[in-house]
Amino acid sequence: MYDRNWAKVDVATVPEIHTELPGPKSREYHARAAKHMKGYSSQVTLFPVAFESGKGCTLTDVDGNTYLDFSSGIYVTGLGHCHPKISEAVAKHANQLMNCHDFTTEIKMRLLEKLASITMGDLNGIQLYDSGTTAVEAALRCARAATGKFEFLSFWRDFHGKTMGSVSCAIVDKSQGMRAPGFFLAPRPNCYRCPFGMTYPSCRCFCADHVDAVLKNETSGQVAGIVLEPIQGWGGSVVPPDEFLPKLRRIADKYGALLITDEVLTCMGRTGKMFAMEHWDVTPDITTLGKGFGNGFPVTAMCVSDKYKESVEKISASSSYGGNPMACAAALASIEVIEEENLCERSVHLGEVLLKRMEEMKARHPIIGDVRGKGCLLALELVKDRTTKEPFEEGGREVYQKAFSKGLAWVPAGHILRLSPPLIMEDDLALKGLDLIDEAVAEVEREYGY
């Protein structure tokens, strides 16, 4: 048994900064890499640090500076960097058998049995992959095979990946290109920025009624699936009103479409439940898992209801790397850690602590228009004016950079700043992270004359 205190740190010693940030080695390494590496994320473009190691809730760069991690490797390392149980499991299989295509191994058998035992309802038809977008593409093909239909409806500003079908489900940036034919978009419920100009709850969740109208009037009636993130990730931790997902389940059934939930970002305790859909007690027909599923090791899954699982046999579902022994070991160990350490409950508690403090920050800072989230999936939305709600894009970039320069590694999305701390983070460490954000927000407000 590993030492449960393996990730504890003295809050007084983190962050620990020795150089200007990014440091000289970080700048050198990034410049050399950038000659060849193209297409960096906004995280890196805005703050090109080069990391060397991670432990628990901290990251250390090549210059010896230690950061507090509020990103979990962009929602991935929810159990902390290099969790000993997971690292040991991966190492064991790296030394034993790294890949054997989709043949059965003992560790794969155990993972499949464990995953089937914890998924909602009868989502027992499973295939394993190595990226979120691959799992989503498989879900789309499976829905077509199961229904004999070909169209899909998805939602504004959801994110499903970077391959053709995934991009077609949700273009979050016009640079991603055109959507494929047969894909339709509906407004996503966002009560802070209602696309219909309504106010909740007097709107009676009109956004769900609009989905019905889109299916009826814009499609050809050949909708194979309705695809969505239960809670938006890239779009800014947007939690739907409680009525929305139950209504969507009924609408999918009405039109004979499968309900497909993309839980690549929201699974494995991130929102306070093993799967975010559990918050609404709504079972999808297909779900996809990833990110925290392997706590950093690239492993994802598509889980299909028993009713449709034979459709998986029709789509050539296997992959070269999916379900390799190292991946299965990482995923199984991650599930066991979540259960053994009661990390779903921990996520709920930490989210409550952080949201309370974020509400206090909102009351003091005029540029914070909204704070929201569930569990350890949180966001602050910056605005130039609370009445007009005009997005404060430049302010978002500067708050991100200023907090990072103080030693906080986290995630931007324009004017929305995303918080995804590891589920294992202690309260005092998490509140220190918000202290750094608080300081950065105050500095930006002074610069812009608020």
What's the average model confidence in pLDDT over 285-313? 97
What's the average model confidence in pLDDT over 348-367? 98
- 377 pLDDT more than 80: yes
Share of the chain above pLDDT 90, in %: 94
- 176 pLDDT more than 80: no
- 173 pLDDT more than 70: no
At 190-200, the pLDDT tens digits run 999 999 999 99
Looking at residue 3, its pLDDT comes to: 79
Query: Band of the pLDDT at 367, cuts 50, 70, 90?
Result: very high
DSSP-based three-state secondary structure for 196? coil
Q: Could you tell me how far CA 144 lies from the centroid of its own chain? A: 25
Lowest mean pLDDT segment, chosen from 104-108, 413-417, 443-447? 413-417
What's the average model confidence in pLDDT over 79-84? 97
Domains of the chain: 1-70 (no CATH), 85-340 (3.40.640.10)
Residue 227: φ, ψ to 5°: -115, 135
What's the average model confidence in pLDDT over 325-340? 98
Q: Are 299 and 72 in contact (CB under 8 A)?
A: no
How much of the chain is helix, strand and coil, in % rounded to 5?
A: 40, 15, 45
Beta bridge partners of 226: 153, 259
H/E stretch holding 176? none
Looking at residue 319, its pLDDT comes to: 94
At 44-54, the pLDDT tens digits run 999 999 999 99
Looking at residue 171, its pLDDT comes to: 67
Query: Band of the pLDDT at 170, cuts 50, 70, 90?
Result: confident
Query: Band of the pLDDT at 15, cuts 50, 70, 90?
Result: very high
What's the average model confidence in pLDDT over 310-323? 93
Give all strands of the β-sheet with 51-55 in edge-to-edge order.
51-55, 58-61, 66-69, 408-409
* Residues 230, 289: Cα–Cα separation, whole Å: 12
What's the average model confidence in pLDDT over 291-309? 97
- 1 pLDDT more than 90: no
At 244-297, the pLDDT tens digits run 999 999 999 999 999 999 999 999 999 999 999 999 999 999 999 999 999 999
Q: Would strands 66-69 and 58-61 be described as parallel, antiparallel, or unpaired?
A: antiparallel
DSSP-based three-state secondary structure for 215? helix
What's the whole-number average pLDDT of the chain?
A: 96
Residue listed under structure tokens 């000659």: 35
Looking at residue 85, its pLDDT comes to: 97
By the 10 Å C-beta count (0-12 exposed, 13-18 middle, 19+ buried), 79 is classed as buried
Query: Band of the pLDDT at 413, cuts 50, 70, 90?
Result: confident
Looking at residue 172, its pLDDT comes to: 66
- 175 pLDDT more than 70: no
Q: Which of 425, 116, 411 is nearest to 289 (CA)?
A: 116
